[in-house]
Each structure stands twice: as C-alpha cells, then as structure tokens.
Chains A and B, each alone.
Chain A
C-alpha cells in the first residue's frame, strides 16, 4: 500500500510535467495544424539554455532561468513559427511534419556536439528531502513539481476561458474563418499559441531536468510521451492532454516496478496502439466532424 502511494505520487508528478508538453502539442495542432515532431526536443533544449547561462555567462540560477524562458519564447515560439512553420504550411502538413522531424534531429545533435554528449546535473529548484507519509517516502521535489505544473495548466485554462484574448484564441482554434469574421486577429492568436507552447516547454524542461539530468537525447522519449498523452486523453482537448499525461506518468512508474526492465519502454507504445484501435478519439475526446 505504501509502495503504491509512493508510485502514485511520483507518477503523477512526472505525469503533470508530461502533460505540459502534451498540452502545448495539442494547442499547436488546434491553432495551426502543426504536428510538432520536435516537441520532445523543445522540452530538452531550455534546460541547456539555463546551463549555458550559468556555466558560460556565470548567471545566478534565477537569472539563467529567466533568460532561458525568454530565449524559449523567441526561439521555440516566434522563430519556429516564422522560419519553419509559415513558409511550409502552404505546401500542406506533410513537408512540415518532415521538417519538424529534421528540426528535432538538428536540435538534439547540436546540443550533443556543441554542449555535451553526457547527461548534465541540473541544479534542483526545490528541497530534496523525503518525508514519511503513512510509511511511504514521498519527495518534496515531486510534490512541488506537481504543484507548479498544475498551476501552469490551471492558469492557462483560466486565461483561455476567462480573458478576451483567450477566448479569441479558442475561437481561432475552432474555426479560423469564423474567428476572422468575428473580428479576431487570427495571425496574432496563432503567434500567441506558439509563444505559449514555448513557455510550456521551458517550464517542463526546468522541472524535469533536476529529476533526470539534462541530456541531449531526453527529447526522444519526451516527444513520444507527449504525443501519446495527447492521443490517449483526446487530441482536441486540453483536459484530455492533462489526463493523458497523468495517466502515462502513473503507468510508466507502475511499469518500472512491475514490468521487466526490458519492456518498460514498450508500455506507453502499446497503450498508444490499443487506444488508437479501440477509442481513436481518446478518452475525453469527441469524434471530430469530417473535414471539408
């Protein structure tokens, strides 16, 4: 029982971070039909912005994090949209998918060649002790990660639901043509979405790196998991991506304990294939009308 509680907490904590990446993934898809195959690398990279800021420029941790956040908005948000997505969208989604695959490789290999091929220790943001809760050892870091990730997603939900800009963004995601007629600046809303994705990736990166080390290859699994979380929960919903992320986090942690080490990585993949077979619209998703 204590063990299960322990797994549950660390699973939810990891899952909440996956959910950040999955929510960003879903937002991009809704706003601009962009399937970002480099999403995992988007989560890998900001940690290296922080590390570079600290080791190369000697910034204190908080300043390095702030710089990394700004850089993520510029590079992963604005530049990604302007340089990659915009010139390619007129050719359809296929070249864009291929381009994001290539972009992911480019980011991964560049970090490997120009920074380091070794996993880098990342300064912890939260106290690292473990408390005893009904016999289960629960790490403060896990709890804090869970809280921060949830806070980010809840404020995003509030922003989308309660503010004028947020509602305009949702209208854009639902139908850009209708949004345009209603007087929404569609281009600006799409740009906001890319910026939000950049910010979500940066938060996920900074939360997850102290747990697993910052490594160039982190994106491989993270990208896959973000996608699986988005599909499992329901591709067209933020709630779905959140649920999917939490679910995968818990399942992955359960698998680490109860499934042989050889096949641990296979569990989320099998989950993906099962979900696509039995409930392609995801757990919370609604079947989409066929597109015209």
Chain B
C-alpha cells in the first residue's frame, strides 16, 4: 500500500512537470488555475472535511489575498512579502470572524461567512480610493526571483507548482502531527473528542482560520496569474464553486479537493453547450452527490474498490464474537 502510494505520488509529481510542455498559453493558464483552486479547496477541506463547518467565505478570503498582494506588489513590495501579508491577514480575519460564530452551534458559521462575503464585495466595490472600485486593479506584476522571471506563462506555471507542492507538503505534515489526529477525531466523533480533553471549539476555529489563510494564499497567486482583479471575481458564486470542488472530489480526503478542483475548473468547458443552464446542472449535481455519495468521488471510488476486494477472513473477529 505504501509502495503504491509512493509510486502514485512520484507519477503525480512527474505529471505536474511534464503537463505544460508543448502546450499553448491557454492550456497552461487553465493548469495554473487548477493548482491555485486546489490550494483554496484544500483550505476549505480543512474547514469542511475535518472540522465539519461550512464556510462560504473562501472566495472573500481569496479576494482579500488577491487585493493585498496586488496593492503591495504594485507599490513595489516583493511578492514574497506580499504573500505572507495575505496569508497573515486572512488567518487573523478568519479568527475574528470564526470566534463569535463558533461559540454558538447550529452552523452559524455558514451564515456569518455568507454575510461576510457580501460585505467584502461591498467594500471592494465602494472604496475606490483603495481598490479601484468596480473597475478593479490592472497591471499586477508577476514576481521575479533573481534570475528567474515568472513573466512568461511557463515559468509562472512552475512557480505555481512549487507553491502548490509546498502547501500540500505543509498540509500533509500538519495532518500527520497530533493536530491531524485531532482534526480527524473532530470529524469522526466531536463529542467523544471533547470528552477526551480536546477543546473542540478552539480546534474548529483553528481549522477555519488555517483554511481561510490558504484561501488568502490562493488569492495571492491568482492576482499575478490574471494580472487584473475586480470585486465581481470574488462573489458568492466563487465560494459555491470552491465548495463544489471539495464536495465532488471528496471532503475529508487529502486528494479530494485536488480532483474536485480539476473537474470544476474544466466543468464550464465541458458544459459550454448547456449555455445558461450551467447553474441548474451545478445545483442538480450537488443534490445528486449529497443524496447518493456524501463522501464525493474519492469516497465512492473507495466504496467500489472495497466491494470488489475479497474480504479476508479475520480469525480475531470470530474470536471477538466469542468474547
């Protein structure tokens, strides 16, 4: 199993490096987009798949990250500094927003984040002096690291890959630590976890804030990718799209959001023929997934796989039955 996993990881890494070779700029742009949304969706997965809370503010955090990075880099600050400001700001705002909402139960966070997304949009649109209003910000520079200039599409892609791999690595490491175990416990049985000494409210808040910070990071990458941002790009619809990525891919699975992001980024291409019915199909898709496979495609795949595998007879089960 571990050898298989390693092989899969190596193949995935190789594919990431080979994928853009010989492709046109548009394909490379779509690939960058996929990686950036994967980061954002991995963040939401922490909130949704582990802490079991719905955040509808992932788009707002991407917006916050994108605007902070855009404003700072346009003022001549290096991207490296800007990205940490984006991540830090998103994390802190996540804490401040999540704290009151999580003191009360009943999925208040979903509504508070819904309100927050609208508020962020209003501020971005109305505060022209800072954000350029509904016209947005144009001419966001792409970062330069010494001799490595990401101005061209291919170097920018590799820059995105590096950011993605670092994020995935940090995420994997965190999930491997006792925090990761606590996140899993939170998902599987929060009441039991609480009785074992886990401060579930605090852990949920942390999951939300870290997830939000990853949204900020995704925004900090989105800004130099598109080089033009406007308030309309960070509305509720985008939050719902990111939510779909996590759910369709498989919430609570490490690779779920990455798979989901790939599908959702490509979905408009696939559904182009459907015209205005895109959102109707989207909604039906979510309903079908929720009714038939609440664990998404990866969950479905695992279920199918285990139903094909012959069940090994376990002696201990018989022994256990006697106990």
A interface with B by C-beta (< 8 Å): 29, 35, 37, 84, 87-88, 91-99, 101-103, 105-106, 109-110, 112-113, 224, 227-228, 231, 235, 262-263, 265-266, 269-270, 272-273, 276-277, 280-281, 291-292
Contact = CB atoms under 8 A, between A and B. Distances in A.
Closest 4 A-B residue pairs measured CB to CB? A106-B283, A102-B286, A269-B115, A105-B283
B126 A262 contact: yes
A269 B119 contact: yes
Contacts of A92: 52
B287 A113 contact: no
A276 B104 contact: yes
Nearest to B105: A291
A228 B111 CA distance: 9
A97 B283 contact: no
B287 A102 contact: yes
Contacts, number: 105
B105 to A, nearest CB: 7
A106 B106 CA distance: 24
Interface of B: 48, 52, 54, 100-101, 103-108, 110-112, 114-116, 118-119, 122, 125-126, 191, 240, 243, 247, 276-277, 279-280, 282-284, 286-287, 290-291, 294
A102 B287 CA distance: 6
Nearest to A106: B283
B290 A99 contact: yes
B114 to A, nearest CB: 7
A122 to B, nearest CB: 24
Contact of B101 (A29, A96, A227, A276): A276
Given A102-B286, A105-B282, A280-B104, A95 B119 contact: no
B266 to A, nearest CB: 20
A91 B82 CA distance: 41
Contacts of B100: 273, 276-277, 280
A263 B122 contact: yes
A72 B116 CA distance: 31
B240 A101 contact: yes
A227 B115 CA distance: 11
Given A106-B284, A269-B119, A276 B126 contact: no
B280 A97 contact: no
Given A35-B107, A266-B119, A280-B104, A97 B54 contact: yes
A102 B283 contact: yes
B111 A272 contact: yes
Contacts of A91: 294
A173 to B, nearest CB: 14
Contacts of B247: 98
Contacts of B283: 102-103, 105-106, 109
A113 B240 CA distance: 20
Nearest to A113: B276
Contacts of B54: 94, 97-98
A265 B290 contact: no
Nearest to B125: A262
Given A101-B243, A103-B283, A105-B279, 16 more contacts: A35-B106, A87-B291, A91-B294, A92-B52, A106-B280, A109-B277, A109-B280, A109-B283, A113-B276, A224-B111, A224-B114, A231-B108, A263-B122, A273-B112, A273-B116, A291-B105
Contact of B290 (A95, A112, A231): A95
A16 to B, nearest CB: 22
A280 B103 contact: yes
A269 B121 CA distance: 12
Given A99-B290, A273-B115, A262 B104 contact: no
